[in-house]
């Protein structure tokens, strides 16, 4: 069993109280590690260290900060197997996907923000003088468990590259990979206090961070309800806030679409990471006229998703993160049946005696007012919603409190026009890929602000009008 401490001011240090959080392997229910259950005093120490390091870190030339990030990308690359096995065992992701879905992002982001840091124009001349971008000072990150490494690195590498020092509170469900990240940062030789890690519960460490006067900006990724609570607390000291929250994203199939490609994308998006993906396409909108054909394709596709042991190379879908998540997802599947949606794959899981497994589940004949079409299930459950006209499809796609992501399949020009009308922070047309240079974030209750690309970097810089 791995046991970690807090990482504050470049040193591994005990929590203020002798309380611990045990980390469970969701495939075996075995306790695989423990981390301190930090408190407000630990947050104070971490913020003091970050504050003390802020001035000298911000004063470094951009190329010097870039060098630290490049070195860090090398250390993560060197330790990638350790990251992969840790993430697989604390999250349940099949080991064969741990690098592509989780670890590769951290390496890419370190390199990307190293380049951004070096090439960004921090000063722009204007007729009155200049617009200058300056780091905030101390930035905190509060992150979820579903992409436990990448959600931390996406924000914090940008924040550090921009010249801020940081305090990270990872999720209590999967904190171990962030402890290895702290080791990697130590190995890469970052100055003390630039990166600080405080593990603990949301209501304790998270709240202490949100309320702390010594933190200038807070970037939160998690549920919409958590984001609202944290946001309210953070505003008490008028922190700059970025919120990356939940989603209920549509994948819209138009007439003329490549149905096989659309079905493959819908299943991959809804089932990968056991459906625990904020931007998953969990509502598939299909023309009524193509229902039989698409349902047959979906049934055949779902059979390819073998659920089981994350260490088995055959496995496509591992367990859910916890018993709480298992009961929640089971409840949604029961609710779908009770609301008369029609099961075409999967169904209610029997029990979780041998791990928190739920087979990929597809409901058809879903209407957009059913609970399974409105709420974020966060499990491998796809809701298929037939529509009669494209106007109706657009109304359904946008009839949600969320607005994180979306996809459209159809004739390229028509699909692109449709994509422009979807109220979401990112929409992919006919399976086109994205990249770290594209902004990521949500409309409506999916969030405030953006990560990734220039937008995600600028989000960690204050804007000064310097007139002279
Ligand atoms: P969560 O909101 O329960 O927790 C997220 C983090 O916030 C954790 O570190 C938690 O300890 C902390 N936290 C929770 N409530 C808090 C509070 N009241 N005060 C302070 N801190 C608090 O979310 P989760 O279950 O860890 O993650 C799943 C959610 O995250 C899903 O809704 C998913 O859609 C969302 N998510 C969004 C994105 C995105 O980029 N938009 C990415 C990944 C996950």
Q: How far is the centre of ligand 1, averaged over its atoms, from the C-alpha of 179 (Å)? A: 18
What confidence tens digit (pLDDT) does each residue in 132-170 have?
999 999 999 999 999 999 999 999 999 999 999 999 999
Residue 385, pLDDT score: 99
pLDDT band at residue 173 under the 50/70/90 scheme: very high
Residue 463, pLDDT score: 97
Residue 122 burial (CB count, 10 A): 15
Sign of the Cα pseudo-torsion (105, 107, 111, 113, in order): positive
Residue 315, pLDDT score: 98
Q: Is the CB of 222 under 6 A from ligand 1?
A: yes
Q: Is the CB of 135 under 6 A from ligand 1?
A: no
Q: Is the CB of 151 under 6 A from ligand 1?
A: yes
Residue 453 burial (CB count, 10 A): 17
Residue 291, pLDDT score: 98
pLDDT band at residue 357 under the 50/70/90 scheme: very high
Q: Which helix (H) or strand (E) holds 139?
A: strand 138-142
Active site residue 244: yes
Residue 458, pLDDT score: 97
Residue 139, pLDDT score: 98
Nearest CA to ligand 1 atom 35: 222
Residue 336, pLDDT score: 98
Q: Scan for tokens 């029961």, then name that residue.
A: 334
Residue 65 corresponds to which tokens in the numbers above?
A: 């900060």
Above pLDDT 70, what percent of the chain? Answer: 100
pLDDT band at residue 454 under the 50/70/90 scheme: very high
Residue 45, pLDDT score: 98
Instruction: Give the chain's mean pLDDT.
Output: 98
Q: Is the CB of 249 under 6 A from ligand 1?
A: no
Residue 174, pLDDT score: 98
Residues 391-420, mean pLDDT to the nearest whole number: 98
Residue 175, pLDDT score: 98
Residue 418, pLDDT score: 98
Q: Is the CB of 219 under 6 A from ligand 1?
A: no
Radius of gyration of the chain (CA): 22
What confidence tens digit (pLDDT) does each residue in 303-331 have?
999 999 999 999 999 999 999 999 999 99
Residue 89, pLDDT score: 98
Residues 76-91, mean pLDDT to the nearest whole number: 98
Q: How far is the centre of ligand 1, averaged over its atoms, from the C-alpha of 261 (Å)? A: 31
Q: How far is the centre of ligand 1, averaged over its atoms, from the C-alpha of 340 (Å)? A: 31
Nearest CA to ligand 1 atom 39: 244
Residues 334-346, mean pLDDT to the nearest whole number: 98
Provide long-range contacts, Cβ within 8 A and 24+ apart, for 449-455.
449/219, 449/241, 449/242, 449/243, 449/244, 450/242, 450/425, 451/154, 451/155, 451/158, 451/219, 451/242, 451/244, 452/154, 454/116, 454/120
The active-site residue out of 109, 244, 316, 390 is 244
Q: How far is the centre of ligand 1, averaged over its atoms, from the C-alpha of 225 (Å)? A: 8
Residue 60, pLDDT score: 98
The active-site residue out of 84, 178, 278, 352 is 278
Residue 53, pLDDT score: 99
Going by C-alpha positions, the residue among 276, 256, 275, 278 that lies closest to residue 267 is 275
pLDDT band at residue 50 under the 50/70/90 scheme: very high
- Does residue 356 sit in helix, strand or coil? coil
CA dihedral defined by 62, 196, 103, 269, rounded to 10 degrees?
A: -100
Q: Is the CB of 73 under 6 A from ligand 1?
A: no
Going by C-alpha positions, the residue among 23, 67, 58, 42 that lies closest to residue 167 is 42
Residues 249-264, mean pLDDT to the nearest whole number: 98
Residue 467, pLDDT score: 98
Residue 113, pLDDT score: 98
Going by C-alpha positions, the residue among 30, 35, 48 that lies closest to residue 170 is 35
Q: For residue 177, what are the contacts with CB-CB under 8 A and spacing of at least 6?
A: 83, 86, 87, 90, 102, 148, 149
Active site residue 84: no
DSSP 288-347: GGGHHHHHHHHHHHHTT--B--TTSTT-SB---S-HHHHHHHHHHHHHHHHTT-EEEE--
């Amino acid at each position: 069993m791995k046991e970690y401490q807090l990482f504050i001011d470049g040193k591994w240090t005990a929590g203020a109280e002798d309380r611990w959080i045990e980390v469970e392997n969701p495939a075996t229910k075995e306790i695989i590690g423990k981390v301190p259950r930090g408190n407000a005093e630990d947050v104070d120490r971490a913020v003091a260290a970050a504050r003390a390091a802020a001035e000298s870190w911000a004063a470094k030339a951009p190329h010097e900060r870039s060098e630290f990030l490049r070195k860090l990308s090398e250390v993560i690359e060197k330790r990638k197997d350790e990251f992969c096995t840790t993430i697989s065992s604390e999250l349940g992701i099949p080991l064969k996907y741990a690098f592509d879905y989780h670890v590769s992002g951290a390496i890419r982001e370190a390199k990307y923000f190293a380049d951004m840091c070096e090439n960004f124009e921090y000063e722009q001349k204007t007729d009155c003088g200049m617009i200058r971008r300056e780091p905030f000072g101390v930035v905190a990150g509060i992150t979820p468990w579903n992409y436990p490494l990448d959600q931390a690195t996406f924000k914090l590498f940008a924040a550090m590259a921009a010249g801020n020092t940081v305090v990270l509170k990872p999720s209590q469900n999967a904190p171990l990979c962030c402890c290895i990240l702290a080791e990697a940062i130590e190995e890469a030789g970052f100055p003390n206090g630039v990166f600080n890690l405080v593990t603990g519960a949301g209501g304790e460490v998270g709240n202490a961070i949100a309320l702390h006067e010594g933190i200038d900006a807070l970037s939160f990724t998690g549920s919409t309800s958590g984001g609202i609570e944290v946001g309210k607390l953070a505003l008490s000291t008028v922190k700059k806030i970025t919120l990356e929250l939940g989603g209920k994203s549509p994948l819209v199939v138009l007439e003329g679409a490549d149905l096989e490609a659309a079905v493959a994308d819908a299943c991959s998006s809804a089932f990968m990471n056991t459906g625990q993906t904020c931007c998953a396409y969990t509502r598939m909108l299909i023309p009524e006229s193509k229902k039989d054909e698409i349902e047959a394709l979906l049934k055949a596709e779902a059979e390819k998703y073998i659920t089981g042991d994350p260490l088995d190379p055959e496995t496509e879908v591992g367990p859910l993160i916890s018993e709480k998540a298992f009961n929640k997802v089971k409840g949604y599947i029961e609710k779908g049946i009770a609301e008369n949606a029609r099961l075409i794959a999967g169904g209610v899981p029997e029990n979780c005696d041998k791990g928190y497994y739920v087979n990929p589940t597809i409901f058809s004949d879903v209407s957009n007012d059913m609970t399974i079409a409105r709420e974020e299930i966060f499990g491998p459950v796809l809701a298929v919603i037939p529509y009669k006209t494209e106007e109706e499809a657009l109304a359904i796609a946008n009839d949600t409190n969320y607005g994180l992501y979306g996809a459209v399949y159809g004739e390229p020009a028509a699909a692109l026009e449709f994509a422009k009308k979807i109220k979401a922070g990112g929409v992919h047309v006919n399976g086109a890929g994205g990249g770290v240079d594209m902004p990521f974030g949500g409309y409506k209750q999916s969030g405030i602000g953006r990560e990734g690309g220039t937008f995600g970097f600028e989000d960690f810089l204050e804007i000064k009008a310097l007139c002279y």
